Structure 1
Amino acid sequence: MAGNPDERDERIALLLDYDNLAIGAREGLGVSPFDLTPVADALAVRGRVVARRAYADWSSFDEDRRLLARAQVELIDIPQRLGGSRKNAADIKMAVDAVEIAYERSWVTTFAIGTGDSDFTPLVHKLRELDKRVIGIGVASSTSRLLPPACDEFLYYDRLLEAAAPPPEPVPETGAPAPVAGTEAETAAATPDDDEAVGRLVTRTLSGLARQGDGAVLASRLKRAILRQDPTFDEAEHGFRGFGELLRHLRDQRIVELSTGSAAGDPEVSFPENEPAEDDAFRLLAEVVAEESRSGNGVPLSGLKDRVRKRRPGFSEKTYGFASFLSFAKAARARGVVRMAWDETAGDWRLQPA
């Protein structure tokens, strides 16, 4: 065990009261079928999910069943119509399994209980009594007020959906219109590519680890968290010889910051701390984008630098260490100052208020 690089990671057992979650998501959020991906990503940042079980009468969730099977979830079928009422059968089975895991699998350190039902509060108390950490997961509109305070941490599915990364931006076709010419000629080559996708994956994962507040985020820990989200991840497929080279590339773009870690070759990774002048420049960009996007369609990157200069003559992104206005805009997006998406029709980036 001492040689296991994941020895400090939490081992998580994910147990889902699926009826409660699916109905809550459908009626409260209009989401159907239930999408497990935001939950899986949130837990992957927190540790290794070593067991995934969902409890329901699966005859009522045909499409969900296929999606969960693809997500490697073990489906525990509890038929509800066997000649009599079995209303709480799934809840009882889930509680029994949780206690059994707690006693028989000492390596499981954390239970993620997906439900909004206050009937599971005694189970949460028992698991914590057994020195297990408990993460609750539920839909805000269908979660009892008694349940979240009983947990060590509670994740509202609504917020996980909001925080979920947008889908990969489409690569423009060869015949896509060229961007409008402006003072920043570099936008002519501003097309989304794999570099954008991998950058979003790294920053999203780093943000999740940083929110845990349990010490510095080492490159090795960041890489393990990324692999838990996407076991097929390989930086070589994105054109980098190693994960360190990828991080140095993001550092050069001012997306992340690297500092000496506790071991050679394993630097600490963080987000850059903005200088006051740089913060002011990002605020200026956000103000201009907010003013220019009142129509709701966003502001094209082409010509945006001119609009910024109208507000502040002499503005230059190079003053703040960015090689191009596009890099400055991408850094603003990484810091949550603006939103930025590729417009395939116009062949240009569009920015909107965050």
Structure 2
Amino acid sequence: MAQDEKRIALLIDADNAPAGKIDAILTEVARYGVANVRRAYGDWKNPHIKGWEATLHAYAIRPVQQFAYSRGKNASDMAMVIDAMDLLYARNLDGFAIVSSDADFTPLVMRLLTDGVKVYGFGENKTPEPFVNACSKFTYVEALGQPENAGATTATHPRSASELRSDARLLQMLRGAVDSTSNEEGWSPLGAVGQQISNQASFDPRNHGYRKLSDLIEATSLFDVRRDEQIIWVREKPKAHATAKAKRTPRKRPAIQTS
């Protein structure tokens, strides 16, 4: 392993993750580092997770048996949390990849982040927002697995311009990132915009149906995009900027004249 490669612990909640997406998940994790720890947690006598059995050996994932000691309680969650904290205290990892659609892992993610490690989350579209937003980056598994030559779209259906513009949180994040990284002419390098967004929130354009951030920004129809050799520049369109500013500025009431 190269000295500068990041070391990632891949922890899978087999009860709440689809086995059919593991190849795409590992490919994604490889973008951030080497998954030198690979563990999947569950009660392997439960037929519900039988689909994982063939996957474990093929991808060198160690199964961790966790019996359901109490009805209605997920003992696998507790086992994952204990292992994650043991791995954190060992101080030989740079990040964690947690595969689950269960919001119960949100406190764990927040705890890991306080130690300065990255947490990459993977789960289905049904994953509750607290877990999604807590991660350094969260990717819906439905958005993974599209061939590289398939253009800008992903397995998640691309959201239309009107759908994107109706997402207040998304627009606030995009506008804020462009504004904070812009030069005197209002242009921002796309790389700086992406870095600003990743610093403030969990974000992946594929969750909105677009493979690249530039494709997503263009799809909103609210930004000008300019390609200058190897650099992509982004600027909010003057009309859109003026409209947004007008909405934020309260209208002054006319003065009442007295005789």
Q: Could you state the TM-score of these two structures normalised by the residue count of structure 1?
A: 0.40
Aligned to 1:67: 55
Taking only the aligned residue pairs, the percentage that are identical comes to 31
Contact 1:11 1:47 in 2 (8 A): yes
Q: Give, as a single letter, the amino acid of the residue that structure 2 aligns with 1:19.
A: D
- Alpha-carbon deviation of 1:86? 6.3
SS of the equivalent of 2:119 reads: strand
Which residue of the other structure, out of 134, 137, 141, is the alignment partner of 1:157?
141
Contact 2:14 2:52 in 1 (8 A): no
Contact 1:38 1:164 in 2 (8 A): no
Q: Map 1:4-19; keep pairs closer than 5 Å.
A: 6-19=2-15
Q: Give, as a single letter, the amino acid of the residue that structure 1 aligns with 2:61.
A: V
Q: Give, as a single letter, the amino acid of the residue that structure 2 aligns with 1:97.
A: D
Aligned to 2:132: 148
Aligned to 2:17: 21
Contact 1:69 1:75 in 2 (8 A): no
| Whole-angstrom distance in 1 between the partners of 2:75 and 2:147 | 33
Aligned to 1:119: 104
| Whole-angstrom distance in 2 between the partners of 1:50 and 1:73 | 10
| Whole-angstrom distance in 1 between the partners of 2:22 and 2:62 | 13
SS of the equivalent of 1:58 reads: coil
**1:134 is aligned to 2:119:** yes
| Whole-angstrom distance in 1 between the partners of 2:143 and 2:39 | 22
Contact 1:109 1:132 in 2 (8 A): yes
| Whole-angstrom distance in 1 between the partners of 2:147 and 2:56 | 18
SS of the equivalent of 2:130 reads: coil
| Whole-angstrom distance in 1 between the partners of 2:102 and 2:147 | 24
Q: Which has the larger radius of gyration?
A: 1
Residues 192-250 of structure 1 show CA distances to partners (whole Å, capped at 9, x for unaligned) of xxxxxxxxxxxxxxxxxx9xx78xxxxxxxxxxxxxxxxxxxxxxxxxxxxxxxxxxxx
Residues 40-74 of structure 1 show CA distances to partners (whole Å, capped at 9, x for unaligned) of 00111211111000111112233421122211000
Residues 246-270 of structure 1 show CA distances to partners (whole Å, capped at 9, x for unaligned) of xxxxxxxxxxxxxxxxxxxxxxxxx
Contact 1:18 1:56 in 2 (8 A): yes
Once superposed, which parts of structure 1, at least 4 consecutive aligned residues long, lie more than 6 Å away? Answer: none
Q: Give, as a single letter, the amino acid of the residue that structure 1 aligns with 2:5.
A: D
**1:107 is aligned to 2:86:** no
Contact 1:111 1:133 in 2 (8 A): yes
Contact 2:21 2:141 in 1 (8 A): no
1:92–1:86 distance in 2 versus 1, CA, 3 Å: farther
| Whole-angstrom distance in 2 between the partners of 1:62 and 1:21 | 12
| Whole-angstrom distance in 1 between the partners of 2:65 and 2:229 | 50
| Whole-angstrom distance in 1 between the partners of 2:112 and 2:27 | 23
Q: Give, as a single letter, the amino acid of the residue that structure 2 aligns with 1:128.
A: L
Contact 2:7 2:36 in 1 (8 A): yes
| Whole-angstrom distance in 1 between the partners of 2:43 and 2:74 | 11
Aligned to 2:40: 54
| Whole-angstrom distance in 1 between the partners of 2:62 and 2:147 | 24
- Alpha-carbon deviation of 1:137? 0.7
Aligned to 1:291: none
| Whole-angstrom distance in 2 between the partners of 1:117 and 1:63 | 19
**1:76 is aligned to 2:64:** yes
Contact 2:15 2:42 in 1 (8 A): yes
Contact 2:24 2:144 in 1 (8 A): yes
1:51–1:164 distance in 2 versus 1, CA, 3 Å: farther
Aligned to 2:20: 34
Q: Give, as a single letter, the amino acid of the residue that structure 2 aligns with 1:68.
A: L
Q: Could you state the TM-score of these two structures normalised by the residue count of structure 2?
A: 0.54
C-alpha RMSD of matched pairs (Å): 2.9
1:63–1:18 distance in 2 versus 1, CA, 3 Å: closer
- Alpha-carbon deviation of 1:107? 2.1
Q: Map 1:1-354; keep pairs closer than 5 Å.
A: 6-22=2-18, 33-59=19-45, 60=47, 61-80=49-68, 84-85=70-71, 87-104=73-90, 106-141=91-126, 143-161=127-145, 163-164=146-147, 273=229
SS of the equivalent of 1:9 reads: coil
SS of the equivalent of 1:45 reads: coil
| Whole-angstrom distance in 2 between the partners of 1:11 and 1:114 | 16
Count of aligned pairs between the two proteins: 157
